[in-house]
Amino acid sequence: MQRFTLPRDLYHGKGALEALKNFEGRRAMICVGGGSMKRFGFLDKAEAYLKEAGMEVELFEGIEPDPSVETVMKGAAAMEKFKPDWIVAIGGGSPIDAAKAMWIKYEYPDITFEDMCKVFGIPKLRKKAHFCAISSTSGTATEVTAFSIITDYEKGIKYPIADFEITPDVAIVDPELAETMPQKLVAHTGMDAMTHAIEAYVSTANSDFTDPLALHAIEMIQHDLIDSYNGDMAKRDAMHNAQCLAGMAFSNALLGIVHSMAHKTGAAFADYGAHIIHGAANAMYLPKVIAFNAKDETAKKRYGVIADFMKLGGETLDEKVALLIQYLRKMNDDLNIPHCIKNYRPDSYPAEQGFVPEEVFLERLPEIAANAILDACTGSNPRQPSQEEMEKLLKCCYYDTEVDF
């Protein structure tokens, strides 16, 4: 038996933020990140709509990119004090992910972070509050997913929390928020969405319910991402829908080792002054993982279906897989994303020499590989890598060398 779970209500299209006017409750806590939602007036709008619905509103502001365990605990403490019956998270993936984890801790004050990370092991939520997610970026799709990514900075590891309980009750997909994204964010979130759709389609948990969502998302991203990056706002609006469809697919079909590797390399070199941004990591690793997974016949056929759906040509399955890899690498070029860690600058742009020194990468490689294998996303990857294979694959992602194993 498989399960397919989405938010009960999804409001989409320009002006969808107004749906907040019709919420029923006494108190709402709005969780928000840095300042863009405030700067562009969306935070004020959300607060005004909730007050119009007759609610008392409190803000929890300043959730950082790659939110920490500490921020989660602080937010949960603020909720415990204010006692909201609605948690409304607005912004990119970070504030929404953080708010999901805060929600768990608010409902169950005694739960530990380790307990939260037990895959599909969270007790029933909604005893104290319901959850609404309003996304401002077109990539993570956390507004419709059963996932949250929280960083333990002491360990330098990103942990996925995975449970259908944290699927939001309401998702608001209003493209006006996404039009405010800076160009670099359009690139990274767009390739994150492409990775979600491709990994969901080849995942061992794919189904008749997830396949159409994944394929349509891939088609839309192929059609719209580069133009969105170059400033076409109609395409930017379309991408906000595409990433949400990809999210619906992967929340139910799960992901694969592109994400496992991105989670475990993201903060692994933070002591050298930068993170490998999640969407950029996915973009760099995706072509390598396709080459690795395509050694599995079932996965190879599914990559072939994707290539056909994208009208890339090719007679044999091997040709189709090669053309898919080539196409994705060209997308990275068009989006100014490097092809490997060695060429990844601290600002995420390509360079001859990136910020991660070779000797540091090689020294940390065994531990990163072991952590990636243990990641929640590895179980649904079509080909299960050994420690040796994961190390070799990560080396290909460092040097941009061919995957021939």
Looking at residue 252, what is its pLDDT?
A: 96
Looking at residue 154, what is its pLDDT?
A: 85
Given a cut of 90, is residue 160 above it in pLDDT? no
Q: pLDDT band for 210, please (50, 70, 90 cuts).
A: very high
Looking at residue 268, what is its pLDDT?
A: 93
Q: pLDDT band for 119, please (50, 70, 90 cuts).
A: confident
Looking at residue 113, what is its pLDDT?
A: 93
Q: pLDDT band for 33, please (50, 70, 90 cuts).
A: very high
- Tally Cβ neighbours within 10 Å of residue 362: 13
Q: How far is CA 174 from CA 97, 121, 135, 140, in A?
A: 18, 32, 8, 15
Given a cut of 80, is residue 156 above it in pLDDT? no
Q: Give me the phi and psi of 58, to 5 degrees please.
A: -125, 145
Looking at residue 255, what is its pLDDT?
A: 96
Looking at residue 343, what is its pLDDT?
A: 98
Q: pLDDT band for 245, please (50, 70, 90 cuts).
A: very high
Looking at residue 153, what is its pLDDT?
A: 86
Looking at residue 34, what is its pLDDT?
A: 84
Give the least confident one: 44-48, 113-117, 234-238. Answer: 113-117
- Complete DSSP assignment for 67-125: -BHHHHHHHHHHHHHH--SEEEEEESHHHHHHHHHHHHHHH-TT--HHHHTSTT-PPP-
Work out the burial of residue 88: count CB atoms within 10 Å of its CB; fewer than 13 is exposed, 13-18 middle, 19 or more buried.
buried
Residues 266-284 have pLDDT tens digits of 989 999 999 999 999 999 9
Q: With pLDDT > 90 as the criterion, what percentage of the chain qualifies?
A: 95
Identify the three-state secondary structure at position 139: coil
Q: Give me the phi and psi of 119, to 5 degrees please.
A: -60, 125
Given a cut of 90, is residue 155 above it in pLDDT? no
Given a cut of 90, is residue 66 above it in pLDDT? no
Looking at residue 7, what is its pLDDT?
A: 98
CA distance 192 to 302: 19
Give mean pLDDT, residues 348-359. 97
Query: Which tokens belong to 79?
Result: 């909720």
CB distance 339 to 329 below 8 Å: yes
Residues 293-346 have pLDDT tens digits of 999 999 999 999 999 999 999 999 999 999 999 999 999 999 999 999 999 999
What pTM value is reported for the model? 0.95
Give mean pLDDT, residues 360-381. 96
Give mean pLDDT, residues 191-201. 98
Looking at residue 403, what is its pLDDT?
A: 98
Given a cut of 90, is residue 376 above it in pLDDT? no
